[in-house]
């Protein structure tokens, strides 16, 4: 049975491939197949036959594989026909897809965290204000402590130096030093008197740069201070030279007035506040 089958196939092949495979090669192939078939069928075949059959055993399977490809006038297989008849991707879809890399690029850019150096005092002050929000309100609307919003804090402290000193030292230090007016003595509606509204804790735990950052946030983000002012440029702008000097340790509250012109001494002791028209 098996031998018949093997013989029958090359016979058919020789008809199909008569122009492409020389007759003598086909015959040799047939002969070898025969030998291989016998040795396969006859389990007790001699070693001579087996070694002869070994080489063609590699070539033989190739013979049936050849005719599968070359038949020239073959109609398209269903797969190829389906491929040719497929719906093409419309131009608008291609254009839309071509924008995808741009979108992905911008998306990744947006996910990247801001470089730390771009955060000026206002940016740094936002998280620090969590120390103050409980008493002064998340938006500076006031609570246990005074409100900052709508210019209130600017009215109390026309000069940022007086406010920095107050926030660093707190109300108890002013009380024991006998300094009753930490801010503007000419404040509209009367000056704020030390201890009149309760106890304000001091913040020696914050660095001078951090104190400046949180006070900038209070004055300009919450208090409505004028960002066109000289004070803003000098103390609170992203490129504030005083913030840079405090951050690097080049300046401190004790000596910043010696390094920058027109700056009032902050120091580390309570001092009476200055009015808006006082020399700054």
- Asked if 272 interacts with ligand HEC (CB under 6 A), we say no
Residues 6+ apart with CB under 8 A from 67: 13, 16, 17
Rounded to whole angstroms, the Cα distance separating 155 from 185 reads: 10
- Asked if 195 interacts with ligand HEC (CB under 6 A), we say yes
Rounded to whole angstroms, the Cα distance separating 223 from 212 reads: 15
Contact 272, 278 (CB under 8 A): no
Contact 167, 226 (CB under 8 A): no
Of these, 29, 194, 240, 274, which contacts ligand HEC (CB under 6 A)?
194
For CA atoms 194, 195, 198, 200, the dihedral sign is: positive
Q: Where does this chain touch ligand HEC (CB under 6 A) — which range of 107-115, 200-208, 236-244, 265-273?
A: 200-208
- Asked if 186 interacts with ligand HEC (CB under 6 A), we say no
Rounded to whole angstroms, the Cα distance separating 195 from 171 reads: 6
Rounded to whole angstroms, the Cα distance separating 120 from 130 reads: 17
| # of chain residues touching ligand HEC (CB under 6 A) | 29
Beta carbon nearer to ligand HEC, 60 or 213? 213
- Asked if 274 interacts with ligand HEC (CB under 6 A), we say no
- Asked if 33 interacts with ligand HEC (CB under 6 A), we say no
CB environment 252-263: b (16+ within 10 A), e (fewer): bbeebbeeeeeb
Q: Where does this chain touch ligand HEC (CB under 6 A) — which range of 23-31, 39-47, 161-169, 235-243?
A: 161-169
Of these, 163, 184, 236, 274, which contacts ligand HEC (CB under 6 A)?
163
- Asked if 220 interacts with ligand HEC (CB under 6 A), we say no
> Which residues, 123 to 152, sit near ligand HEC by CB under 6 A?
131-132, 134-136, 144-146, 152
Binding site for ligand HEC (CB under 6 A): 131-132, 134-136, 144-146, 152-153, 156, 163, 166-167, 171, 183, 192, 194-201, 203, 214-215, 218
């Amino acid at each position: 049975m098996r031998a018949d089958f093997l013989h029958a196939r090359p016979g058919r092949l020789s008809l199909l491939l008569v122009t492409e495979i020389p007759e003598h090669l086909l015959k040799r192939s047939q002969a070898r197949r025969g030998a291989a078939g016998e040795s396969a069928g006859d389990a007790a075949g001699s070693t001579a036959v087996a070694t002869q059959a070994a080489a063609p055993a590699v070539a033989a399977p190739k013979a049936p594989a050849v005719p599968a490809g070359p038949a020239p006038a073959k109609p398209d297989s269903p797969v190829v026909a389906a491929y040719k008849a497929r719906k093409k991707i419309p131009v608008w879809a291609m254009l839309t897809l071509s924008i995808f890399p741009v979108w992905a690029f911008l998306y990744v850019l947006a996910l990247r965290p801001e470089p730390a150096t771009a955060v000026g005092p206002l940016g740094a002050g936002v998280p620090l204000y969590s120390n103050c929000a409980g008493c002064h309100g998340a938006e500076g609307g006031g609570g246990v402590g005074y409100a900052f919003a709508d210019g209130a804090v600017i009215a109390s402290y026309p000069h940022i130096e007086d406010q920095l000193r107050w926030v660093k030292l707190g109300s108890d230090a002013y009380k024991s030093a006998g300094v009753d007016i930490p801010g503007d003595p000419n404040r509209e509606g009367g000056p704020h008197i030390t201890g009149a509204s309760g106890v304000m804790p001091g913040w020696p735990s914050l660095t001078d740069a951090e104190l400046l950052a949180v006070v900038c946030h209070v004055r300009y983000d919450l208090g409505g201070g004028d960002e066109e002012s000289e004070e803003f440029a000098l103390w609170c702008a992203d490129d504030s030279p005083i913030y840079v000097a405090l951050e690097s340790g080049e300046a401190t509250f004790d000596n910043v007035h010696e390094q920058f012109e027109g700056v009032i001494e902050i120091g580390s002791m309570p001092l009476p506040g200055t009015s808006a028209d006082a020399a700054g």
